[in-house]
Amino acid sequence: MNESLYKKRRETLLEKMQEGVAVLTNARLQTRSNDTEYPYRPNSDFYYLTGFKEDNSILVLIKTADETKCLLFVQKKVPEMELWTGKRLGVDAAKERFKVDEVFISEDFEKEMKVLMAEQHLLYYDLFSDDVLYKQLRALAKEMLHTRTVIVSPRSFSDITKLTQEMRLIKSREEIVQIKKALAITQKAHHHAMKVCKPELDEFVLQAEYEYIFKKEGAYSDAYTTIIAGGNNANTLHYINNDAKLKAGDLVLVDAGCEYGFYASDITRTYPVSGTFTQAQKELYEMVLDVQLKIIKAIKPKGSKKALQALSERLLTEGMVKLGILEGHVKTLMDEKSHKKYYPHGIGHWMGIDVHDPCPYSDDNGDEILFAEGMVLTIEPGIYLPEEDEALPEKYRGIGIRIEDDILVTKEGCENLSGSIVKSVAEIEAICKNK
């Protein structure tokens, strides 16, 4: 993505702001243990507005009745540190690269903010972050309040993430390209893993096969911790131990997606460890797949996630009654929420720079935000039947199935961005047997 796109996003944010000053910080290095850090990833909102990946950088936007300004704070270049941790962009190079008004070193942030916050009534920042810099801002605002030489200082505070996350709801053409690249790599990983999966393979070894393809094909990292859940492990929704052996005759539920250019993919496929579905597995699988296909077909502008949730619960309940998993009338079972025992989660979530994009689901009035062209969400119905549940038909016990795809809302309907990742019984068995 080019700098003009990030500049346009900052201009849009300034249009949404009231008069005031906004501060967005990039992520800091996080300690893993002692003196080692986790692999670094920038703050999503900060990256969305700048495309800048260096830690401890800060973006400041100022809006007055007369003008708007955009300032960037970056770490200064220190050759001794660069020897150990790599080159920094520095002030001069940042001035050349970014379409901002001024660039300062991060160490001067407090000094400059004393000037920038003067004469401003409103301060925007991430109200829910515990970042030390935001605490510093609050302390600085309090200090300025009691300084006789400052006539006006921030007395009102607003959450900047409310505005940025509203903006992130609608994906640009460039963002869709990034998501599609992530999905192309994720497709290769899923198809590769289906071929190498076999009985007695450790779950973590299958996980390694996914992550190998991610890295080999140029993905920055996985978008979330990969779930490799063989057999009954699939009935733990966020199973990430991945430390059991895959057993012949079981299914394996794999929730795995890579991140490309800091844009996520999020895909779940469930397939037979031995390469062939049993009759019971096939019955359950095709029921869940049928539900997913009907849900995807229903997605269009002005539709709602709430309606999709209701449809998924009704269809899955009907399927469970048909298979003898639940007994009774569908409406009564749903009123009693009996289906929730085996389908406890939502039908999907927003996706973008974050795998669970923190975009709003309702507006300021509490009304649900309706689908619009450019939104991206996951669709992931599932059924989870624990082996210890004696109320279940014995043939279905210990089976967990989820099928998840990434969907783009289009002008007249939707596009399944991950539709080329195999998911029919015939397709899966064919690729699993092609070892």
Cα 352 from Cα 54, distance rounded (Å)? 20
Bridge partners of residue 402, in order along the sequence: 382
* Separation between Cα atoms, residue 3 and residue 5, nearest integer Å: 5
The CA distance from 122 to 153, in Å, is 8
Cross-strand pairs, 37: 31
Pure H helices in 328-378: 330-335
CA gap 112, 72 in Å, rounded: 11
Please, which residues have CB within 8 angstroms of residue 235's CB and are 6 or more apart in sequence? 384, 385, 386, 387, 398, 400
Spatial separation of the C-alpha atoms in residues 308 and 166, rounded to whole Å: 21
Which single residue is written with the structure tokens 């190998």?
A: 212
Query: How many Å apart are CA 57 and CA 53, to the nearest integer?
Result: 8
Q: Is the dihedral of CA 151, 155, 161, 166 positive or negative?
A: negative
How many Å apart are CA 81 and CA 96, to the nearest integer?
A: 23
- Kind and range of the H or E run holding 316: helix 305-322
C-alpha to C-alpha distance for 380 and 349, rounded to whole angstroms: 9
Query: Using the 8-state DSSP alphabet, how is residue 392 labeled?
Result: S
Nearest in space to 408 (alpha carbons), one of 219, 181, 170:
170
User: Tokens representing 277?
Assistant: 């579905």
Query: Which residues are part of the catalytic machinery?
Result: 35, 238, 255, 266, 345, 349, 356, 380, 384, 402, 404
Whole-angstrom distance, CA of residue 229 vs CA of residue 337:
26
Which amino acid is present at 238?
H
